[in-house]
Structure 1
């Protein structure tokens, strides 16, 4: 069989290219031929509107989905937290790479006295905003959009006290500054810190190649988190956090999930520890617990608010 060149589609930001090159190297190491094709996404172009106002889940993945369906690229590499829980028809999850740092971090200007008083914090994420307000109700939160480099520059150019980022993104492109605090109290986005590779469902050659990159523990944990998100019907916008971890010693899965109101005043949490054999329904059962505990009403309120 003649070996085809696997065309890797990616956004053209530094972080997206880093992710694409990481996958490229792993495929090359296995003996596959590859080329990288960069595509601009609407999420990168429209920077003046908060993400939820754009009314599209998967704004960062849509352009690459189309490029794949149109046959311009064979695979796409994404930060898994940006990928909608329902993939377009004909596109499948082909590999989840081993997870990096899951934490959110606060990038600040060197003095953190503001945490005890009034402050302005920047983030484009409803999840981070709601959790920040839950902990610091007197702070002001402003919208922050753009790729990682653009957002870091905006922090320097504005008089905000700090901004919240995913640690993994900053670490991957060596942008994590000294003035940085781990927010270990903030529950991350489902699948934060993980990269996913998607391909066409009928492309056996590529699917076979990518299956060799899959990290099973990360695949299971992100599956649980995304199942939790999907059951709550969160799309990519509602203030929902989830983290599943495998405890090797006990052979159990530890799960934490949270749903908040947009203003951070209401918070519904769930924590579960189950045997590894029960992983397939863990996200679903945890989400049901939240929905039965006031989550159904809260989700309805959030959806109504975001439609305004």
Structure 2
């Protein structure tokens, strides 16, 4: 049997695709793997995300390859996958989570609270921008595009004073973090499913789904889907300042969620203790509380 894996062409994407390939061949070394690197529509422009339709453009070409049979599975960073999938597709598996944290890279690893007045920080994420400006309204957060190596080069070239990146990406690519500040959870809650590698396939492809079921981390899938459900309930997208984290703490799951205005001046923050058994109902209940507090309108402000 041969399984064709669609992936973006970046070093990080290929690294993640190879992790998945190795997991599959560990199950059955008779399975042949072929990686199919693709340049997504989102990779072919430097325009800001809000001008090109959001992160959905990063997966649309990979999904098309699933439909036309060019590939059997597509590997993504789950945070880049829209919370509401086309009904033809499904997330067949997630792997164990890397760090969910965000990192602030600079010349000396300064914390966000100690960053120089009126500094410029690079990030195209409204979630990151809003949370930075909630703490430091003086800081100018400017859009930055490109793969992680390109963004770091722009920082080193002096285009801005700091750069916010996912710790998971730095860890996977073994990039030096000595000049990085790791945001606390209170300062910067992550994007839904940040740190997860996800494998997508056609919902109708039962043979592939059966294979993916064997490499899926069931507990992590529950947490990842709960976070995505919260964003979906908010009618959110990658352009919405919505942050949510479901983390295991002793014998329970702590759900932390935050919704902010685009400028970061206003926010709603709530926490809720849950369990694997109740998390689906609890995340719906938490989303309802946010909606009752006008979260839908807040993310548009």
Please classify the TM superposition score into its range, dividing by the shorter chain length: over 0.9
User: SS of 1:61's equivalent?
Assistant: helix
User: 1:187–1:257: 8 Å Cα contact kept in structure 2?
Assistant: yes
Per-residue deviation, 1:174: 1.3
Aligned-pair distance for 1:56? 4.3
Task: Find the partner of 1:241 among 243, 263, 267.
Answer: 243
Picking from 210, 214, 226, the partner of 1:224 is: 226
Normalised by the length of structure 1, the TM-score is 0.92
- 2:14 and 2:37 map into 1 onto residues whose CA distance is 8
Whether 1:17 and 2:19 are equivalent positions in the alignment is no
Is 1:41 the counterpart of 2:40 in the alignment?
Answer: yes
Aligned counterparts of 2:120 and 2:52: Cα–Cα separation in 1? 24
The alignment partner of 1:268 has SS state of strand
Query: Does structure 2 retain, via aligned residues, the 8 Å contact 1:224–1:282?
Result: no
Alignment partner of 1:213 out of 215, 220, 223: 215
Change (3 A) 1:166 1:56: closer
Query: How far does residue 160 in structure 1 lie from its aligned partner after superposition?
Result: 1.7
TM-score by length of 2: 0.94
Segments of 4+ in structure 1 off by > 3 A? none
In 2, distance between residues paired with 1:278 and 1:234?
Answer: 23
Contact map agreement 1:226 1:283 (CA 8 A) in 2: no
Q: What value does the CA root-mean-square deviation take over the aligned residues? A: 1.5
Q: How does 1:145-156 map to 2 (within 5 A)?
A: 145-156=145-156
Matches within 5 A, 1:119-158: 119-158=119-158
Q: Could you list the runs of 5+ residues in structure 1 that have no partner in the other structure?
A: 303-308
Q: Name the CA shift for 1:108/1:211 in 2 (closer, same or farther; >3 Å).
A: same
Deviation at 1:94, TM superposition (A): 0.5
- Give the Cα separation in 1 of the matches to 2:296 and 2:109: 40
The alignment of Structure 1 onto Structure 2 pairs a total of residues equal to: 295
Does the CA-based 8 Å contact 1:97-1:196 persist in structure 2? Answer: yes
Shift, 1:159, TM fit: 4.2
Quote the residue 2:69 is aligned against: 71
Distance 1:289 1:87 in 2: 24
- Aligned position for 1:29: 26
TM-fit CA distance, 1:89: 3.1
